[in-house]
Chains A and B, each alone.
Chain A
Amino acid sequence: DSGVTQTPKHLITATGQRVTLRCSPRSGDLSVYWYQQSLDQGLQFLIQYYNGEERAKGNILERFSAQQFPDLHSELNLSSLELGDSALYFCASSVGGTSQETQYFGPGTRLLVL
Chain B
Amino acid sequence: ELKVEQNPLFLSMQEGKNYTIYCNYSTTSDRLYWYRQDPGKSLESLFVLLSNGAVKQEGRLMASLDTKARLSTLHITAAVHDLSATYFCAVAGGSNYKLTFGKGTLLTVNP
Can you list 29 pairs linking A and B with CB atoms under 8 Å apart?
Answer: A2-B44, A33-B97, A33-B99, A42-B101, A42-B103, A42-B104, A43-B88, A44-B101, A45-B98, A45-B99, A45-B100, A48-B97, A56-B96, A56-B97, A56-B98, A58-B98, A90-B42, A90-B43, A99-B31, A100-B50, A100-B92, A101-B48, A102-B33, A102-B48, A103-B45, A105-B42, A105-B43, A105-B45, A108-B42
Within 8 A of A (CB), among B87-110: 88, 90, 92, 95-104
Residues of A in contact with B, size category: 20 to 34
- Contacts between chains A and B (CB distance < 8 A), count: 55
Is B68 at the interface (CB under 8 A from chain A)? no
A103 to chain B: which residues have CB within 8 Å?
A: 33, 45, 99
* Residues 3-29 of A at the B interface (beta carbon under 8 Å): none
Q: Contact check, B95 vs A99: say whether CB atoms are below 8 A apart.
A: yes
Contact flags A96-113 to B (C-beta < 8 A → 1, else 0): 010111111111100000
Bound state CA distance, A92 and B43, in angstroms? Answer: 9
